[in-house]
Every structure is written in structure tokens, then in C-alpha cells.
Amino acid sequence: MIIDELKEEITDPDDAYNTLDIILNYSTSKMRSLLLLTKELFSNKDPAEIHCLIFVERRYTAKCVYYVLQQYINLEPILTKSLRPQFMVGRNSVVPSIESLLYQKWNNTAIESFRNGDCNLLVCSNVLEEGIDVQACNYVFAYDPLKTFNSYVQTKGRARSSDALYAIFTDKSDEVSVVQKIKGYQEAHKNIQDFLIGRILDQDEPKEQDIAEQFKDLITPFRTQSGAYLLASNALPLLYRYCALLPTDAFGVATPWFNKQTTDDLIHVALQMPLQSSIKHTIMSKKYRTVKQAQISAAFEACKTLYEQGELNERLLPVTKTECVAKVSEELFSHWKKFNDNGK
């Protein structure tokens, strides 16, 4: 009798137990706060208006938070059409393994989904704090404690939209210490700003729309044969996207290198592409007043070169392995099309 009941309990689907009440009642206070905040902010909201990042400290935490969120969203009708979650984690760069390679492939898929809008909520470890370029986010949550000032600046810097919301979660028992630490970070940030007064222009970081307007006339858009346009404002994200898809080993990542140079109070940069890229020469930008403008100029020239060398397709996207194989097959094995599988 008892054995039969245990068998039935084991074979019951998870949906029989993972109800909204159970998820909320058996979650930690911090997890419960995250779930309720997502419900408050994103209920029946247009998915295209949501670009949310959730930062956690550990890879295991990223996966756990993702699966709890996914289950909660599936059970909450007012969130099902609004949120499309995904997760990405850092990989062990010291010990190469099959697991690390699988994580890298998963991360590439996750970041592409976030960039093209298939995913609008990304749970990630510190792999996204710096080094990977994503579009401006309007919701950024720090789920775990921010242990360093650098983590505070990097995560807060991801909230680049003008109406962005930045939130830090903590357990009730740690609330006082976390508030004191954040006040210390804010004071350090203010001291840095005060120190830089008079040394740099006191202005906010330009928004993507401002950059696009500024470069509309300075750099003429590049048009492919199929009619796709490369705008100056899209050049830098496209360059980082191309580099992220280059093959790498377990000891490094492929990123472009910008070397700043100043001449007559104007700035230009020398762009060196990763060794895995087909561009082996140094690309020099035109001279501008800011480093950002010079980087965009160099990235624009690099993207044009990549397109001319066949590294970007007619839609100005990095060429995939499937496209490479198809191109080689078309050039070298076109005569095979004369024969079918039966040898006729």
C-alpha cells in the first residue's frame, strides 16, 4: 500500500506540485521578492519594451534562478506573453573540458537570442559584467551581493536607457550592511566624478539614438548588393558580435584591441583584430573629439572589410559554419548536382 503511494508520488509530473503557491511559499525571501517584482513590472507588458538583465554570483545560482523564473512565468498567465527568459554563465578558463565548450556554445546562443529579441530577460553570472557588448537595458537587477566597487559600476553601467531601473536584492539580515556598502560605492563614484571635473567634459554617456544622429552625416551608410545598410551606430556592436563567434581556446577570448592616439587635441585609434580574424592589418580611424567616435569609425571600416572578405553575409551578419560549407560545396562540388542519390 505504502509502496504503491510512493510510486504514484514519484511518477506524478512536476506540474502537480510546482504551483504558484508552492513556488512562492518555499522560495527564499530574496527569490520571492524577485518573483513579485517581475510580476509587478512586467504584467501584460509588450515584450519588445523589456530588456532585463539579472546578475548573480555563481553559475549554479544562474541556472537555479532561471528555472524557478521559467516555472513561475509559465504558471502566471499575465507574464507568459511578456517574458522570455534565458541564462548564460561563465566558463572555467583554466581547465578545458567538454562542459566548458558546451557552456560557450550555450552562451553564444543565449546572447544572440537576447540581441535579436527572442529572449528579453537574461540571468547571467559575471561573464556579462564586462567584455560583452549588449544593447541598452532598461531593467538591471543585482541578485547577489556586489563584493567590489568594479562589480557595482559594471552592473549599474548596463542600465543605459534613459528610463532604466537598477535594483539590488539582499536578505533581510544583510540589509544594513548592504546599504552601507552601496553608500560607500556611491560616495567613491561621486569622488571620482568630482576629481574629473575640469579634466573631462561633464556630460552623460551618449544614447544610441544620439550616436546614430551624430554619425548620420559624418559617416555615409554602407550598402550591400542586396540592399542591407550598415550604419555607423551599429558598427561597434556588429564587430563585437563577429569577434564573439570566432573560435577560441580555454585560455582567452577573441576581442578587438583599440589603441588610443592623440594628435592636435583630436583622438584617433588603431584597431587590431584578433588573430583568428581574416583581417591581419591595423585599421586606423579618422580623427574625432572623443574615443567613442574614433572607435566607431574604426569599427565601421573593419565591418566593411569583413563584408568584402566574405566574413559578413549580405544581411551584414557573421557568416555561419553552415553558410561556409554551403559556399565551398557550391564552388567545388557543383557537378554533384547532376547526380542524385541513386547515381543517375
pLDDT digits 0-9 by tens, 278-299: 899 999 998 888 888 899 999 9
- Residue 120: is it exposed, middle or buried by C-beta count within 10 angstroms (0-12/13-18/19+)? buried
Q: How many CB atoms lie within 10 A of CB 32?
A: 14
Cβ-based neighbours of 147, under 8 Å, separated by 6 or more: 57
User: Residues 191, 195, 198, 204: is their CA dihedral positive or negative?
Assistant: negative
- The per-residue pLDDT for 283 is 93
Q: Answer yes or no: pTM beyond 0.75.
A: no
Stretches where the chain sits below pLDDT 70 are 1-17, 90-105, 126-135, 198-217, 249-252, 321, 323-325, 327-329, 331-344
Which helix H or strand E contains 166, and what residues bound it?
strand 165-168
Give the integer Cα–Cα distance in Å for 105 and 6. Answer: 39
Closest CA relative to residue 58, chosen from 143, 131, 120, 178? 143
- The per-residue pLDDT for 344 is 47
Give the integer Cα–Cα distance in Å for 223 and 246. Answer: 24
- The per-residue pLDDT for 195 is 79
SS3 326: helix
CATH 3.30.160.20 domain locations along the chain = 208-330
Whether the Cβ atoms of residue 96 and residue 78 lie closer than 8 Å to each other: no
- The per-residue pLDDT for 36 is 93
Architecture of domain 2-196: 3-Layer(aba) Sandwich (3.40)
CATH 3.40.50.300 domain locations along the chain = 2-196
User: Which residue reads 510510486 in cell numbers?
Assistant: 7
Give the integer Cα–Cα distance in Å for 53 and 74. Answer: 19
In words, the CATH class of domain 208-330 is alpha beta
Amino acid (1-letter code) at residue 157: G
Count helices and strands (H / E) in the chain: 12, 10
